Amino acid sequence: MTKSAISDCLIQDLFIEQATRTPERPAVIWSTRTLSYADLLFRARGLGHRLRALGVRPNTLVAVVMDKGWEQIAAVLGILESGAAYLPIDPNIPPDRLSYLLENGEVEIVLTQSWLDEKLSWPSGVTRFCVDHDESGADGSIPLVRVQSPDDVAYVLYTSGSTGKPKGVMIGHRGLVNCILETNRTFGVGPDDRVLAVTALHHDMSVYDIFGLLAAGGAIVMPDRDGTRSPDHWVELIDRYRVTVWNSVPAFMEMLLVHASARKLALKGRLRLAFLGGDWIALSAPGRIRAHFGDVQVVSVGGPTETTVWNIWYPVKNVQADWNSIPYGHPIANTRYYVLDEQLQDCPRGEPGELCCSGVGLLKGYWRNDEQTRARTAIHPRTGERICRTGDRGRFMPDGEIEFLGRIDRQIKINGQRIELGEIEATLLRQPGVKQAVVDAIDLDGQKKLAAYIVPENVPENVPENSQPLQAHQLRAALESFLPAYMIPSSFLMMEALPLNANGKVDRSLLPASVLARSEPESGATAVKEGTEEVISSVWKKVLAVEHVGPTDNFFDLGGDSILLVEVHAELQQTLNRRFSVTDLFQFPSIRALSDYLDGQASQVASSEIAERIRKQRNAMAKQRKDKDKVGQLP
């Protein structure tokens, strides 16, 4: 284990040091607002005073339920200044899941934005505070007396849970500071760097976007709310604001590369550093990144949420012909990796075992869940260290680097999102008419997809095993009410019985992989119309490799994903000779809906909802312009 001095400061102190040193430098850049370091510190301290007056304490949680925007950064820093820890929550999750996270997190205060405050359904008893309408009167020029220690909780991130309920990972200040300082020191991140914050706040890679750049005196470039998944918008921001650092799951970088290739964009000299983590990195990715961006240092970063952002990395130079995957690498300073067997004994070099971590970055535990904490942490029998059992398989290679070999348990990652298959199964089993349910990840054309295998109650006789009756649509709709979109299976297969092994357990190796084959769409009997619908249908068939597409079939139900959507976007823009955003394809995922939108015939309901959202955002921004608190500068 490489050692360096471990700091005793709090994570927000790294930002405050930079704000004191260079107050006028830009800290957060957004299309309608730029906050200098002084502006952001004033905002954070004002929120901190407000929250402390409301009674927050160390090791309690204040939730951040927000869309992308400068408000997220101010909220996170304000919560930390108050002495509490922040709990980021995706505002797009189903209402029941939002209520569960707030209740389980014992949240009494939520920081949000005015348009979301009006839109979302909130549990009773929760105090909401709209950061974009901050009229608290709290004086942001007065520093707050520190009430927490480096060993207190900085943030809690909820991850998918095998019991059917998500579990909260508690991360402390000390380990977070170690990760940020070591990353910036190792890769020379400084005041001239800017990161494009494409990662959602509730994903742990966003933690580096915020604290990594603010600790270095750099700037965070925030995408617009309607451009968070639009490579067109990303490229525009990279050019306009001279972005130098990319930090995301590999799928987002793949979207950027597909877009750049389709548009033949000249991007060399833009990025200098690309962190990729949270999922497998294609062996071809580093070469393609350099082909588009020039001399970029590509760094594979890894480690579960329980080990603080990332605790292992591998700077990729030349990809070797005999590699099976990009190496996991070596641990960062003040952390250690072991490869252990079931008895927690060291595996010989080259032999696979469970990857276990120790060091300063380990989780404090799982929020209000001592049972899970005991299950995932242990004492190393030889060294006496506290270790985290990651559930990942790996081995030491001859050169001492670690090779990642996948998961030991039934947890998977798709596009960087950690998914417990058991949570999806538990949700399915709660639905009426479901007798048995198994969910598995199937590889389709190099992309992981979720497939659900269902044994219904009272299966009618003479029903083909591979048929997909209407009940599949009902199950999909039911899951969408409880689970985030990335946990919804792409396909459902109704079966008379699940295959069993000699021990009477489900034999996953015998589950039919054909469930995710490109199949006939459910609405294929309805023909598409001539004109725009016909053009869209042709492009879909080509990109998705399907023979038939109905006008109301959902792109993602047919096996589509974000990367394929970028290909569709490029093809359609060229074929139709029209410019529109990738985000439009997410919003209108069927041929008919997209055609109506492109032809100016979007439904009045959809149009009114969009107009109302825009109106609220414009009103909020107009109010910001009238603020007399001297915070923020409009371009």
CA-to-CA distance for 171 and 175, rounded, in angstroms? 7
pLDDT at 137 over 80: no
Please give the pLDDT value at position 541: 87
Neighbours of 618 (CB within 10 A): 12
For the chain, the average pLDDT equals 85
Please give the pLDDT value at position 470: 38
pLDDT at 340 over 90: yes
Phi, psi of 49 (to 5 degrees): -60, -45
pLDDT at 505 over 70: no
538-597 tens-digit pLDDT: 998 888 877 778 888 878 777 777 788 888 888 898 888 888 888 788 878 888 889 888
Please give the pLDDT value at position 494: 84
Q: Is 573 exposed, middle or buried (0-12, 13-18, 19+ CB in 10 A)?
A: middle
CA-to-CA distance for 581 and 579, rounded, in angstroms? 7
pLDDT band (50, 70, 90) for residue 21: very high
DSSP state of 397: -
What is the pTM (predicted TM-score) of this model?
A: 0.80
CA-to-CA distance for 396 and 402, rounded, in angstroms? 5
22 Cβ contact partners less than 8 Å away, ≥ 6 residues apart: 37, 191, 217
Structural domains in the chain, CATH included, are 11-392 (3.40.50.12780), 419-503 (3.30.300.30), 532-607 (1.10.1200.10)
Q: Residues 112-136: what's their mean pLDDT?
A: 89
Closest by alpha carbon to 134, among 51, 63, 231, 61? 51
196-223 tens-digit pLDDT: 999 999 999 999 999 999 999 999 999 9
Please give the pLDDT value at position 135: 57
Please give the pLDDT value at position 34: 95
